[in-house]
Amino acid sequence: MSFKIIACVKQVFDPDTPSSAFVVDEAAKRVVPAQGIPPVVNGFCENAVEAALKIKEIIPNTEVVILSLGTGFVMDVMKKPLSMGADKMILVENPEEESSDPFKSATILSSAIKKIGDFNLIICGQQASDWDNAQVPLGISELLDIPCITGARAIEVKEEKVLAHSSNPDGYEVIQASLPTLITVNNEIGEPRYPTLRGDYAGKPEKSGIMVFRRSRY
């Protein structure tokens, strides 16, 4: 019996980029990093990948699929989850330059998840460092009509149930839900592992399962 985890990740501006390195894009009417400053994988998304890989180490025949929505993907950046140990990556190119509308993002991602199909668990970072709205995972769970647990610092899968140790102002609580479920994780889930040489080889475009889909404009 196989177990499939979809880990959602996002390419973002490096949050450690100094403010002096940003410029105004007059055409797009927004502030962007100066040319030559590479993006990164969102930190909480790396935590989501780590959470998925921890489960993969425990449950036999687990497949970890990375799903990302964005534009202008930098492959040397986006292959990191594969280098960490994920099995497959699906990139959905969005021609709409801005991704600040959480409902639109959730709609596109939920549609992609339906096409992937047969998933047991979706893991997302609790928020992205670019907009910090923390709404996209909630939208995905609503559109897929599955439970959502937020702010998990540990995840346990037991048969057809999942237990999440979720942080709250008073400490944490253990929440149980039936699979499939969506869980958001914080940085207490554990430090993301370093890419390995074997993983780095698997992350090379000619060796990896990277699939890129370009979404048509409405």
**CATH code, domain carrying 10:** 3.40.50.620
Q: Which ranges of 59-101 does DSSP label H, i.e. alpha helix?
A: 75-78, 80-84
Q: How many CB atoms lie within 10 A of CB 148?
A: 18
> Model pTM?
0.88
Q: Which domain holds residue 144?
A: 3-214
Length of the chain: 218
Q: Are 43 and 129 in contact (CB under 8 A)?
A: yes
Q: What domain count does the chain have?
A: 1
Walk along the chain (218 residues) and give the pLDDT tens digit of each residue. Answer: 699 999 999 998 877 777 777 777 777 666 666 677 788 999 999 999 999 999 999 999 999 999 999 988 999 999 999 999 999 999 998 876 555 789 999 999 999 999 999 999 999 999 887 766 789 999 999 999 999 999 999 999 998 999 999 988 888 899 999 999 999 999 999 999 988 765 554 555 544 567 877 655 44
> Could you give the 3-state DSSP secondary structure of residue 94?
coil
